[in-house]
Amino acid sequence: MKQVFLKELTQNKCITVTYEQDGILQKCQGRIYKLDLYQQLLALRNKSQKHYFIHLNSIRSIN
H or E element: which one contains 49?
none
Provide the mean pLDDT of the chain: 87
CA distance 8 to 21: 21
Instruction: State the pTM of this model.
Output: 0.80
- With a CB cutoff of 8 Å and minimum separation 6, the contacts of 17 are 27, 28, 29, 42, 44, 52, 54, 59, 61, 62
Domain 2-62: CATH class, spelled out = mainly beta
Q: How many helices (H) and strands (E) does the chain have?
A: 1, 5
For residues 24 and 8, is the Cβ–Cβ distance under 8 A? Answer: no
Please state the domain extents for the chain: 2-62
Q: Tell me: the pLDDT tens digits for 30-58? A: 999 888 889 999 999 999 999 999 999 99
